[in-house]
Structure 1
Amino acid sequence: MTQFTDPHVEGQIAEWRSWVERHRSLTSTPTEQLEANLRECIQELARSGLEPEEAFAIAVRRLAQLDPATARFASQHWARWCELSPARPVTEQGRRVEPSREIFVALGLAAGAGLAVQAPRLFGLHFDTHPGFYLRNASLFVLPFLAAYLFWKRKPTRVVRAGLAGAFLLAAVFANLYPFHSRSDTQILTALHLPIALWLVLGWA
């Protein structure tokens, strides 16, 4: 089973294991199997950016849905675990809780989308003089960054990544190289339906 370098987490697991063993009448699942599942869940949550102590609390709550003894343990300790909320800058042991890496990824991609909206201005494409350009490309300013977040979060296969990249590339080529006429129905339909089409494609991620 996975062993953690944080002694406090190992202490919490030992406390949970002792509780479960004292309440064997509440569960039929072997303690070793429950502990293996608990450690695996903690490791998965820690990889996503959570502090080990927060990961332990969430992992126990998940395991509590399957194991009555763990559910009783969680109900006894939930008030203390609530103090690990991200709203608190430090844990009860005085150690600062760092923000999840996911927050920085999301903020970085959001900033990238904001810069993408402003980038055409560097080439003389202003909204008041080129409204059609912005209407056609509105979804292309934002959705690629959402796709990047989903790539980072879900880690899809190369085939899926290549397919999505190809879809966005084709959309960009069509939106910018097709000879649209000012206020044409084709341009309006493109502005309306391109975001919907790309949103559906994003579901592939």
Structure 2
Amino acid sequence: MSAADSLEPEAAIASWRAYLVSRGSLSAGDVDELEDHLRTQIDELRTAGLDADEAVLIAVKRMGRQDEIAGEYARENSRRLWKQLVMAGAPARRRRIDGSVIMIGFAALAAILAKLPELLGAPAFPALLGGGILALAALAASIAWRTRPPVALIAASAVGFALLFVLAFAYPFGNSSDTAIIFSLHAPVALWLLVGLVYAGAGWRTAAGRMDFVRFTGEWFVYFALIALGGGVLMGITAAVFSALGIDPGVVLAQWVVPFGAAGAGVVAAWLVDSKQEVIENMAPVLGRVFTPLFTIAVLAMLAGAIVTGGFGAYREVLIIVDVLLVVVTGLVLYVLSAQPPTARPGWTERLQLLLVIAAFALNGFALAAMIGRIGDGGFTPNRVVALGVNLVLLVGLAGSAWLLGRRVFRADASTRRLLAWQTGYLPVYGGWAIAAAVALPPIFAFA
């Protein structure tokens, strides 16, 4: 009896394993490891409250994204699996309707919370920060409603949100404070990783669980950008029509529509990713493959320019700009990896990524030299400390990725598993730095 016919967990696992073994492309050890991942996924989904048939379906689908042979199995069996899941008719339909209604409710909640501090009379800057934190909290709550993570993880995430919300109002930032900008840039990073804690649930300790959140982040960003683009076009048309009527809609659009729309769009984008993940989930990796050669050419050109001119001179923002470049390079490596089966052979994309990372390291050397020169002349400032700290965190992460990419490209270790474990295991380091920068640096520099 096949998994598609029975949907019993053990029968499904046996059928799935037999399929992998029959193809002869995987060793017994690889099949054992994949089966262990599959069982972990099923257990986590059952713990989150899903029925056995739903847990089997989703786990098989997820494993299909991690291994090419498992993906073939998922494609051949998923249609019948879906058919059995919707045979219940009205109850399944009610669940979908209820889900969309609840999504709209969370989106409305996020929109209201985004404006709540301002409506309560808070100063402009804390109101902006606090509203953004509350909107992200509503997004996290909507994800928790769907994924049902352990209560301990919900509590840990809530504590983090509460801490940063309180500090946004407690810290005495000045109007031109550099540490205020540092807080506003780093707090969202820390909060997003707390959202990831809720999203991954009990799987946050595993590379597969963390990679699921990475995939979610990429697809969420794509959906959010598309919604923002459509919303921007709509607002432009609306502004043009009202202006032609002699009415200025600028204040309403800027102070109400934009914050309401941005907060609500975050929840809607998350719901779309969750609802359509099997249709469009590979969009971020595809974009990664498209932009890898373009960024490789661009960074090589930048490096050639730095060599010809002798460096960046006294350009003060150079290290910050290069840090942004390193973030993009890290994202390209991570998202291309997210779509790679563990046993896939390295291709041209991996070779280009290795070249891209090496060129970024070399360019960063010129930026570091310029920054060290400025520190020698003027000492440490909040911006310089942050630029150096971010640079160090990114360099360590990329160094590990470069080493493992090199081993993969030159076949010393062709599997993607170690690279996956390194990149996803390094995510807490980014979160740790973001929290330290947002919480510790402002008081250290007297909120200057």
| Bin for the TM-score computed over the shorter chain | 0.5 to 0.7
**Structure 1: 5+ residue runs without aligned partners?**
1-6, 85-89, 126-131, 179-185
Paired AA for residue 132 in structure 2: V
Q: How far, CA to CA, are the matches of 2:27 and 2:50 in structure 1?
A: 30
Count of aligned positions:
173
Q: Could you tell me how far 1:137 is from its partner in structure 2?
A: 0.9
Q: How far, CA to CA, are the matches of 1:16 and 1:36 in structure 2?
A: 10
Residue 96 of structure 1: SS of its match in structure 2? helix
1:141 and 2:131 aligned: yes
Q: How far, CA to CA, are the matches of 2:166 and 2:34 in structure 1?
A: 47
Q: How far, CA to CA, are the matches of 2:189 and 2:13 in structure 1?
A: 44
Report if aligned partners of 2:117, 2:130 keep a CA contact under 8 Å in 1: no
The TM-score, its normalising length taken from structure 1, stands at 0.54
Residue 187 of structure 1: SS of its match in structure 2? coil
Report if aligned partners of 2:38, 2:60 keep a CA contact under 8 Å in 1: yes
- Counterpart in 1 of 2:38? 38
Q: Could you tell me how far 1:100 is from its partner in structure 2?
A: 11
Report if aligned partners of 1:49, 1:100 keep a CA contact under 8 Å in 2: no
Report if aligned partners of 2:130, 2:165 keep a CA contact under 8 Å in 1: yes
Report if aligned partners of 2:57, 2:81 keep a CA contact under 8 Å in 1: yes
- Counterpart in 2 of 1:62? 62
- Counterpart in 2 of 1:182? none
Paired AA for residue 144 in structure 1: L
Q: Could you tell me how far 1:146 is from its partner in structure 2?
A: 1.7
Q: How far, CA to CA, are the matches of 1:72 and 1:83 in structure 2?
A: 18
1:92 and 2:92 aligned: no
Q: Could you tell me how far 1:34 is from its partner in structure 2?
A: 6.0
Q: Could you tell me how far 1:172 is from its partner in structure 2?
A: 0.9
Q: How far, CA to CA, are the matches of 1:115 and 1:23 in structure 2?
A: 50
Report if aligned partners of 1:42, 1:59 keep a CA contact under 8 Å in 2: yes
Relative to structure 1, the CA distance from residue 76 to residue 109 in structure 2 (aligned partners, 3 Å threshold; closer, same or farther) is closer
1:199 and 2:188 aligned: yes
Residue 86 of structure 2: SS of its match in structure 1? coil
Report if aligned partners of 1:140, 1:168 keep a CA contact under 8 Å in 2: yes
- Counterpart in 2 of 1:77? 77
Q: How far, CA to CA, are the matches of 2:58 and 2:158 in structure 1?
A: 31
**Structure 2: 5+ residue runs without aligned partners?**
195-448
Q: Could you tell me how far 1:120 is from its partner in structure 2?
A: 5.4
Q: Could you tell me how far 1:73 is from its partner in structure 2?
A: 2.9
Deviates more, 1:145-154 or 1:90-99: 145-154
- 1:9 pairs, out of 3, 7, 10, with 7
1:187 and 2:175 aligned: yes
Paired AA for residue 43 in structure 1: D
Q: How far, CA to CA, are the matches of 2:60 and 2:192 in structure 1?
A: 31
Report if aligned partners of 2:6, 2:12 keep a CA contact under 8 Å in 1: no
Paired AA for residue 58 in structure 1: I
Report if aligned partners of 1:83, 1:91 keep a CA contact under 8 Å in 2: yes
Paired AA for residue 129 in structure 2: S
1:112-162 per-position Cα deviation (integer Å, ceiling 9, x unaligned): 4433324654x6x4xxxxxx824441120131342472895692785x765
1:173 and 2:176 aligned: no
Overall identity of the aligned pairs, in %: 22
> 1 or 2, which has the higher helix percentage?
2
Please tell me the root mean square deviation across aligned C-alpha atoms, in Å: 4.7
Residue 165 of structure 1: SS of its match in structure 2? helix
Report if aligned partners of 1:17, 1:35 keep a CA contact under 8 Å in 2: no
Relative to structure 1, the CA distance from residue 95 to residue 167 in structure 2 (aligned partners, 3 Å threshold; closer, same or farther) is same
The TM-score, its normalising length taken from structure 2, stands at 0.29
Q: Could you tell me how far 1:164 is from its partner in structure 2?
A: 5.2
Paired AA for residue 130 in structure 2: L
1:169-190 per-position Cα deviation (integer Å, ceiling 9, x unaligned): 1221236xx7xxxxxxx43658
Report if aligned partners of 1:50, 1:100 keep a CA contact under 8 Å in 2: no
